[in-house]
Structure 1
Amino acid sequence: MNKLIPIFFLFLLSGQQQQEKIIARQGRVAFFSYTSVENIKAENNQVLSIIDLSNDEIAVSMLMNAFVFEKALMREHFNESYVESDIYPKATFEGKIIDFDPAQDGEQTRMVKGTFSMHGVSKELEIKTKIEKVQGKYILSGTFEAFVKDYDIKVPPLLAGNIAKTISVDFRFEYQPYES
């Protein structure tokens, strides 16, 4: 009987740790490039994100070739010439939600600080993020600007007028309890 007590507590602790992680398996990331020549927008609905509520750490991973464009040629140029998704297949973000209170219901606006890595380049970012907790579920959303030159993306001079120097990136993640 005495041997069962430690095993029971170990089981309880592992269950508590499991509940502290939440996951968004089909998060959404979209970007928009505005120029006087051409607008380019794309959306990726296959973005994975995990938050550890015990320490407010967040991780995001997305496949670059999962972005959907209005035109097939845009997708081809994006994957082959700009982000080189065969060489750099994923973009990731690892960071922390600052002053986050997971127990607070309703809406919070918090800064998320961390490292965004894309195209072989990592940059520190601070992103203003809206966090909603409704019926025990979390929704994170926000917008940030990414500079094309910061990620070593080469734009041919002939096409420089078609692609903005700054790209607007929107995201939205709906989290569920993580079950391994």
Structure 2
Amino acid sequence: MNRFLILVCFMLCPSQQLVAQKVIARQGRIAFFSYTPVENIKAENNQVLSIIDFSNGRIAVSMLMNAFIFEKALMREHFNESYVESDLYPKATFEGEILDFDPLLKEQQTRIINGNFTMHGVSQALEIKTKIDYKDGNYEVSGSFEAMVNDYEIKIPPLLAGNIAKVITVDFRFEYEPYQE
């Protein structure tokens, strides 16, 4: 009899309760690429933190700017000291909302994330098309967007302007698991 009651309660409970309210990615990946005729610049950061709250569709991302790894040490030095000034602006953040996301769907979803990306002390509104996959009880969110260097008040000396693209392509991938407080 008790098993029957438990089974009935389980079947009558909303299925949303079966999905964790929050998921976290502790080692997300963000990479960027700058193409110029002089030299390509690539960097990757695998220490990016992100949380999604399914109760309201909100997403937050935080990354340390000095955690980007470059092909050349001199590129990393210039990036941190001269351009993003990571001693003054150590983090970049994104706060937004995933539109029309249904955490109960177990197939791939393509959704728009609207929010604000803050880097170098400047915040800009972004609309990002993302792919959301559900795999083995976890979610993977990936996509890309373009950032204009001037939008974030990053100053590039005229002598070096040809070495750095005006528009930077940013790719991201986060693997989320249930968050336990």
Same fold (TM over 0.5): yes
Q: Which residue of 1 aligns with 2:102?
A: 101
C-alpha distance in 1, partners of 2:55/2:137? 15
Cα offset, 1:58, TM superposition: 0.1
| Alignment-derived partner of residue 148 in structure 2 | 147
Runs of 4+ deviating beyond 6 Å: none
Q: AA paired with 2:55?
A: S
Name the aligned partner's letter for residue 117 of structure 2. F
Q: Report the Cα offset of residue 19 of structure 1.
A: 2.8
Which consecutive unaligned segments of at least 5 residues does structure 2 have? 1-16
Shift, 1:106, TM fit: 1.5
Match for residue 23 of structure 1? 24
The normalised TM-score by structure 1 is 0.90
> Which amino acid letter does the alignment assign opposite residue 154 of structure 1?
K
Query: Shift in Å at residue 136 of structure 1?
Result: 1.8
Distance 1:70 1:158 in 2: 22
Give the residue type in structure 2 aligned to 1:117.
T
Aligned residue number for residue 5 of structure 1: none
Describe the SS at the equivalent of 2:81. Answer: helix
Deviations 1:49-101 (A, max 9, x none): 00001111000000000000000000000000000000000000000000001
User: 2:96 aligned with 1:92, yes or no?
Assistant: no
Once the two structures are TM-superposed, the CA of residue 135 in structure 1 deviates from its matched residue by 2.1
SS at match of 2:108: strand
After superposition, what is the alpha-carbon deviation per residue over 1:28-68, rounded to whole angstroms, capped at 9, x for unaligned?
00000000000000000000000001111000000000000
1:98-124 CA distances to partner (integer Å, 9 max, x unpaired)? 000100002000000000000000000
Q: Give me the whole-angstrom Cα distance separating, in 2, the residues matched to 1:170 and 1:134.
A: 20
Q: In 1, distance between residues paired with 2:116 and 2:72? A: 31
Aligned runs of 1:48-67 on 2, under 5 Å?
48-67=49-68
Q: Percent identity?
A: 74
| CA displacement, residues 132-177 of structure 1 (integer Å, 9 cap, x when unaligned) | 0122210000010000000000000110000000000000000011
Alignment partners' CA distance in 1, 2:134 and 2:54: 13
Q: What is the TM-score with the length of structure 2 in the denominator?
A: 0.89
Shift of 1:130: 0.2
The residue correspondences of 1:63-74 to structure 2 (distance < 5 A) are 63-74=64-75
1:115 maps to 2:91: no
* Amino acid in the other structure paired with 1:43: E
Moved more, 126-135 or 26-35: 126-135
Which residue identity lines up with residue 68 of structure 1 in the other structure?
I
Superposed, 1:124-143 pairs within 5 Å as: 124-143=125-144
Partners in 1 of 2:144 and 2:62 — Cα distance?
17
